[in-house]
Amino acid sequence: MEPKMLANPSMDFTNLLEGDLKEEVMKELKKDPEAQTANSPESKLSRISTEASVGEVTKSVNSFQYEAQNLDVPVVVVTSEIHPWSKSGGLAIVAAQYAYNFAIRGHRTMAIAPMYDNYDGAFYQCTKSFELFGGLHEVHYYHHFQNYGEGKGCDYVFIDHPSFRRPGGLYHNLSDNQEYSDNLFRFALFSLAALEVPVAIELGGAPCYGGRVMFIANDWQTGLLPVYMVHRHRAFGNYNHARCMYVIHNLGYQGCYPLRLGLPGTLQYDNFAQLGLPFAALGDLLYQYPLHERTFEGDSGETLNLTKGAIQCCDRIVTVSPTYADEIRTLEGGFRLHDFVATKSYFLVGILNGIDASWAPEKDKTIAETFSAEDLSGKRLCKRHLQRKLGLKEDDDACILSFVGRLTSQKGIDLIGSCVHWIMEDHKDGLSNVQLVMMGNGEEDFGHMLRWAETTWKGRVCGYWGFSPQIEKEIIAGSDFFLMPSRYEPCGIPQMCAMLYGTIPIVHATGGLKDSVKSWYTEPDTSTGFHIWPLNEDSFKKVIFDGLHLFFREPEEFNQMRRRAMAQDFSWSRAIDDYERHFDWTIADPPFWGRP
Ligand code: GLC
- Name residues whose C-beta falls within 8 Å of residue 213's C-beta, 6 or more positions apart in sequence: 73, 74, 75, 76, 198, 242
Question: Is the pLDDT score of 571 beyond 90?
Answer: yes
- The reported pLDDT for the residue numbered 294 is 93
**Arithmetic mean of pLDDT, 22-45:** 40
- The reported pLDDT for the residue numbered 55 is 37
What number of other Cβ atoms are within 10 A of residue 456's Cβ? 13
Q: In a mutational test of the pocket of ligand 1, which residue from 1, 82, 222, 249 has the highest number of ligand atoms less than 8 Å from its CB?
A: 249
Segment holding 197, helix H or strand E: helix 183-200
Ligand 1 within 6 A of 354 CB? no
CATH architecture type of domain 13-29+360-568: 3-Layer(aba) Sandwich (3.40)
Ligand 1 within 6 A of 222 CB? no
Question: Is the pLDDT score of 476 beyond 70?
Answer: yes
Question: Is the pLDDT score of 73 beyond 80?
Answer: yes
Q: Which of the residue ranges 51-60, 519-528, 553-562 would you say has the lowest mean pLDDT?
A: 51-60
Answer yes or no: same fold for 13-29+360-568 and 70-354+574-588: yes
CB 90 within 8 A of CB 83: no
Ligand 1 within 6 A of 318 CB? no
Ligand 1 atom nearest the C-alpha of 489 is 9
Torsion of CA 443, 444, 450, 456, to 10 degrees: -160
- The reported pLDDT for the residue numbered 58 is 46
d(CA 18, CA 16): 7
Ligand 1 within 6 A of 92 CB? no
**Arithmetic mean of pLDDT, 532-551:** 98
Ligand 1 within 6 A of 548 CB? no
Question: Considering only CA atoms, which of 541, 559, 563 is closest in space to residue 550?
Answer: 559
CATH architecture type of domain 70-354+574-588: 3-Layer(aba) Sandwich (3.40)
Ligand 1 centroid to residue 325 C-alpha, Å: 13
User: Before 74, cis peptide (omega within 30)?
Assistant: no
Q: Which of the residue ranges 43-52, 125-134, 150-159, 468-477 would you say has the lowest mean pLDDT?
A: 43-52
Packing angle of the helix pair 90-105, 572-588 (nearest 10 deg): 70
φ and ψ at 54, to 5 degrees?
-80, -45
Ligand 1 within 6 A of 94 CB? yes
- Residue nearest ligand 1's atom 7 by CA: 90
Ligand 1 centroid to residue 26 C-alpha, Å: 32
Please write the tens of the pLDDT for every residue from 270-327: 999 999 999 999 999 999 999 999 988 888 899 999 999 999 999 999 999 999 999 9
- The reported pLDDT for the residue numbered 530 is 99
Ligand 1 centroid to residue 94 C-alpha, Å: 8
Ligand 1 within 6 A of 320 CB? yes
3-state secondary structure of 135: strand
Q: In a mutational test of the pocket of ligand 1, which residue from 79, 219, 493 has the highest number of ligand atoms less than 8 Å from its CB?
A: 493
- The reported pLDDT for the residue numbered 595 is 80
Question: Is the pLDDT score of 410 beyond 90?
Answer: yes
Ligand 1 centroid to residue 488 C-alpha, Å: 10
Ligand 1 centroid to residue 53 C-alpha, Å: 24
d(CA 529, CA 119): 41
Please write the tens of the pLDDT for every residue from 186-224: 999 999 999 999 999 999 999 999 999 999 999 999 999
- Name residues whose C-beta falls within 8 Å of residue 48's C-beta, 6 or more positions apart in sequence: 54, 84, 85, 119, 120, 121, 144
Ligand 1 within 6 A of 392 CB? no
First to last CA, the chain: 40
- The reported pLDDT for the residue numbered 61 is 58
Q: What is the pTM of this model?
A: 0.90
Ligand 1 within 6 A of 284 CB? no
- The reported pLDDT for the residue numbered 23 is 52
Ligand 1 within 6 A of 408 CB? no
Sequence ranges of the domains in the chain: 13-29+360-568, 70-354+574-588
Ligand 1 within 6 A of 309 CB? no
- The reported pLDDT for the residue numbered 264 is 74
Q: In a mutational test of the pocket of ligand 1, which residue from 2, 91, 101, 247 has the highest number of ligand atoms less than 8 Å from its CB?
A: 91
Question: Considering only CA atoms, which of 307, 265, 351 is closest in space to residue 578?
Answer: 351
Ligand 1 centroid to residue 491 C-alpha, Å: 5
User: Percent of the chain beyond pLDDT 70?
Assistant: 90
Packing angle of the helix pair 537-553, 555-566 (nearest 10 deg): 110
Q: In a mutational test of the pocket of ligand 1, which residue from 94, 219, 496 has the highest number of ligand atoms less than 8 Å from its CB?
A: 94
Ligand 1 within 6 A of 198 CB? no
What number of other Cβ atoms are within 10 A of residue 550's Cβ? 20
Please write the tens of the pLDDT for every residue from 103-137: 999 999 999 999 999 999 999 999 999 999 999 99
DSSP string covering 13-52: GGGG--HHHHHHHHHHHHH-THHHHHHSHHHHHHTTTSHH
Ligand 1 within 6 A of 507 CB? no
Ligand 1 centroid to residue 385 C-alpha, Å: 29
Question: Considering only CA atoms, which of 178, 90, 7, 130 is closest in space to residue 490?
Answer: 90
If you count DSSP H runs as helices and E runs as strands, how many of each does the chain have, helices first? 20, 20
- Residue nearest ligand 1's atom 12 by CA: 249
Ligand 1 atom nearest the C-alpha of 89 is 7
